[in-house]
Structure 1
């Protein structure tokens, strides 16, 4: 099966190939086989004239299960979130609610041009919950790293010096059942809570479990009033647990020593800019990561409070970082530095850096021959983008979800002509039914009318 994407403005995100003002992308089965200015091939043709062709976005941290309670906490701080979501909605989630949310949430990603997702799934209240989450991801067709997290049946039990470890037997079951190979569309990670949230024995047991199973680790660190005080990286260093297999999320309140420790250990960084500035985690530390030789990626985090698309994240990080630097320079009456963030920096973080952080840079994140065919077409003819002078600017600062015309994952077209090729009505009905149940359950627990 061969597909030829023909005549678009191609942003490969591959330094060797660069940008093609007019280029073609040839896909054979699930892989990109050529990216050139002109390709002649016997293939099904997708006319990309007037379109911007990019690799799919990579979201390196999203609690996809929360799609069923979208918008429930619009004004929440991080402290509010722990109570309003993790101590209210999470305990009443059924496995079927997780399935509905993961299916709808993954389709939301595809609709927005996100072809790879790290699903930070801390909703494993029973062994049926991870099965349901994985089934939702499978049915959507997205490329995903399923990060197995803790249960969430009690805030006190799971998030304040918790003595309850993620159940190793069930993690092993999930690894053997669904992820015996690391070469599939879905791969596995462990979503740990880390020091401060858990006692030392639990932290050590979870890191040991992940390394025993040879799966990467992902953990929230250095965010907000509480977690910013924990010195989590320094503690992990004292435990001897830092390593290149770990992604650190947020990182807003790191000491210089902690940045150095992460960089020296080969760790990776995921930043959720809109959540961080909106919920009080701290300034998105994009330039801090870059200055320490790291390659920061972007993530959505929670749709309970922020939009679920990558366009929002690119702009939030770009605007917040430049606002911070401009204000500091104004106060000090000095010129702005030469390393101010650029629009291209943001596209790098949303694509190839994301693949790097998810451990999938060898298969996605750029339009490189030999990599998997994860491709997105942005409609540059739309009135909010035309006329396109700089395609990078158009994608990063002009486009929105309505401009995502075509989405291809692993060589399979998942969206075409602006419409998802999925049973969206069924997915929406499922997530709406889950919402109704969950809202009712929370209201009953609080003794309030629905």
Structure 2
């Protein structure tokens, strides 16, 4: 094997004798094949490729070569609090994030979370991540978030959000507009979205934020179909005002009616499924089962490691398991037996790669291994693992057998950022230090009793069960209020 230094400076890299999942339109799988990368691009894929002089060879035998995975919804800033909320419900998260602890994050704390999150994404073979950054209570917080993204050798899309103010307010501020002009060039390595939710308020105050997105020429990503927060009324308002576009990404989409799904399908939008999240905290049943019925394109996301794994392998596994569980459940309810599952492992791998690329308008660049595309390439290979052989069903192996520890090599835009299971060009020591400073800051701000209590926060007397968004007095009576009134 070459050294990491040789891989990083080589003019070309070839993966030899791997099992190649191209994820192209024909779903081509090539055993014992080579993938040649020259510069930033994939040059060729085939058996026994001839390579230019100076090419570094990576032995991919016994491994799977596949496109880098694409995560369309990750609250990166929260990574500094990894695992803190393992036992939360969604309502407790709302209390922690919107009402209490989330307000105490300084710009340097946003930076710390983003730095660690970006590093762990590429370590796990996620070469493109959407930073759904809804903790930006000031432009200084946004500056810090982007500073961190630019330090990590990954591909990112910055979703600017501020859950502490109305989107119609912060999108109109001169400070926000200045930030966009200065920091958002929308390059191949750093894209841009607006990230905000639609409460369902009939006055539709979010209209101004959609108009700002249209003026700036950027897509909107929004949490839709989240129990107790966003529902069919928000979808209807978006549709009636002409703001549902093919570029819109609907995150979760778990508690919507057929009417809403039909509106999404008709306008060409896509959904980001976070099955670990939806299964655990109550947005609604993981939505791939419903989305498939309506022909809505799907991508996958990990949501946040303040709760879960931030691991695309776990996201694929959770999605496939939840979808099949629902299929069996529905069949049993009508006295039927499922003899052939509808959702296949191949489709879930596609959602984790090509699906994300399509959702972000990047399918011409990444998401599949094809000559001419950018070289975002992952080698899954671990000769020390008894779970990495035999390789019989490659898609099933990626979903059910592999894990982040099996990611051997990662290229982003042709640059090696991980080799032989070790990161290259990522300052993990710096991330460790900055995250430790953030934890110390929050513990000191809260005090030990409140810090411990935050792992299972009480629900205060407030409207949080009807609407968690502190920037509006609107309350949706379709959830807690409706139940209370009936009682």
The SS at the match of 2:408 is: strand
Count of residue pairs brought into register by the alignment:
440
Quote the residue 2:145 is aligned against.
133
Selected match of 2:109 from 92, 97, 100 = 97
Selected match of 2:192 from 184, 188, 199 = 188
Gaps of 5+ in 2: 1-10, 455-487
Query: By how many angstroms is 1:226 displaced?
Result: 4.0
Residue 7, structure 1, aligned to residue 17, structure 2: yes
1:273-306 CA deviation, whole Å, 9 max, x = no partner? 0000100111111132222222211101111111
Quote the residue 2:182 is aligned against.
177
Query: By how many angstroms is 1:444 displaced?
Result: 7.9
Give the alignment's TM-score, normalised by structure 1.
0.93
The SS at the match of 1:8 is: strand
Quote the residue 1:437 is aligned against.
441
1:331-380 CA deviation, whole Å, 9 max, x = no partner? 21223275611111110110000111122111111011111110111015
Selected match of 1:275 from 274, 277, 290 = 277
User: In the TM superposition, what are the counterparts of 1:200-219 in structure 2 within 5 Å?
Assistant: 200=203, 202-219=205-222
Gaps of 5+ in 1: none
User: In the TM superposition, what are the counterparts of 1:51-450 in structure 2 within 5 Å?
Assistant: 51-152=63-164, 164-180=169-185, 182-196=186-200, 200=203, 202-228=205-231, 231-336=233-338, 340-379=342-381, 381=383, 382-421=385-424, 422-443=426-447
Provide the C-alpha distance between the structure 2 equivalents of 1:439 and 1:375, rounded to a whole number of angstroms: 40
Change (3 A) 1:434 1:37: same
Change (3 A) 1:442 1:387: same
Provide the C-alpha distance between the structure 2 equivalents of 1:108 and 1:93, rounded to a whole number of angstroms: 21
The SS at the match of 2:386 is: coil
- 2:159–2:194 Cα contact (<8 Å) kept: yes
- 2:221–2:251 Cα contact (<8 Å) kept: yes
1:119-161 CA deviation, whole Å, 9 max, x = no partner? 0001111211111101111101110100110153xxxx65xxx
Provide the C-alpha distance between the structure 1 equivalents of 2:305 and 2:450, rounded to a whole number of angstroms: 23
Provide the C-alpha distance between the structure 1 equivalents of 2:178 and 2:305, rounded to a whole number of angstroms: 29
Selected match of 1:46 from 58, 62, 72 = 58
Provide the C-alpha distance between the structure 1 equivalents of 2:204 and 2:321, rounded to a whole number of angstroms: 41
- 1:283–1:321 Cα contact (<8 Å) kept: no
Give the alignment's TM-score, normalised by structure 2.
0.86
The SS at the match of 1:366 is: coil
The SS at the match of 2:206 is: helix
